[in-house]
Amino acid sequence: MTDKEILERLIDLHKIDEQIVKYEDEVSNMKERIKNIEEKIKEERRIFEEKKKKLDFFKKKKLELELEIKQRESEIKQKDSQISMIKTNEAYKALQLEIKTIRSEIEKFEDEILLIMEEEYREMKHFAEQENLLKDEEKKFKNEIEEFNKKIAEKENEINIKIEKRKEMMKGIDRGWLERYERIRSGKRLAMASIEVNADGDGVCSGCRFAIRPQAVIEVKKKTKILTCDNCARIWYIEEVNNIMKV
Ligand SMILES: [Zn+2]
């Protein structure tokens, strides 16, 4: 097998590997986005639950006021039971006044409870509305995740097809070069780098920006020799613009 034939087959393999790398990157991007969406859902739910704790305040306040009322009710009971033991009219009137004062205190607490209940009702309504919005958003996010998962499955399927295809292609490639190719690929994801050529014929390795002398550029272009980058070890090739890819 000539160097030209080997190089051409390696380029074909490389074209497949480029697509695999592209799909792998797309998959990992989508997985990253799913992770971000999931974190966002969790965070929004957490913030909501935190705000919702405000409702506990109303319950607590109501309990406190109800306790105050109970205490006063038992005070009234106690004073009522004293009435029969009272001897003078004045003492009777004084006791009645005390009871009346306590009753008005109870009324004040009851009014307060009513106000709290009204506010609690408003807040509960507000939170119910907020929760509905949040649920809508969660649903939207979940649909997005589902879409991503579908696309990921598609891409993974395509990757598997490409892997099968490259296995077939490997059979026709010079063993020594194939092993070298696979070794570079395992470390750098892509084993080949195209040479970018400027007007003066000087080249640059697209893999690492290493400068390449014109003589090497010519050899790679003619495919008379298989050359690798001294700097990044990738196998060089020159992209042929009008080449119909055999992929
Ligand atoms: Zn290089």
Q: What is the C-alpha separation between 192 and 206, in angstroms, rounded?
A: 9
- 199-245 residue pLDDT tens: 888 999 999 999 999 999 999 999 999 999 999 999 999 987 654 44
Kindly give the distance from the C-alpha atom of residue 205 to the centroid of ligand 1, in angstroms, as a whole number: 5
Residues with CB under 5 A from ligand 1 (ion): 205, 207-208, 210, 229, 231-232
Query: What are the residue boundaries of the structural domains of the chain, listed by start?
Result: 3-11+172-237, 23-170
Q: How far is 74 from 149, CA to CA, in rounded Å?
A: 65
Residue 159 C-alpha to ligand 1 middle, in angstroms?
Answer: 26
pLDDT at 240: 78
What architecture does CATH give domain 23-170? Orthogonal Bundle (1.10)
What is the CA(121)–ligand 1 centre distance, in A? Answer: 70
Backbone angles phi, psi at 191, to 5 degrees: -90, -15
- What pLDDT, on a 0 to 100 scale, did the predictor assign at position 247? 35
The answer to whether the CB of 238 falls within 8 A of the CB of 194 is yes
Burial class (CB in 10 A: 0-12, 13-18, 19+), 193: buried
Name the pTM for this structure. Answer: 0.79
- pLDDT of the residue at 139: 97
> How far, in Å, is the centroid of ligand 1 from the Cα of 55?
64
Dist. CA 102 → ligand 1 center (Å): 92
Q: How far is it, in rounded angstroms, from Cα 11 to Cα 14?
A: 5
**CA 61 to ligand 1 center in whole angstroms:** 72
| pLDDT beneath 50, residues of the chain | 243-247
In the prediction, which pLDDT does 243 show? 46
pLDDT of residue 201: 86
183 C-alpha to center of ligand 1: Å?
Answer: 15
Residues 6+ apart with CB under 8 A from 62: 113, 116, 117, 120
Biggest CA pair distance of the chain: 131
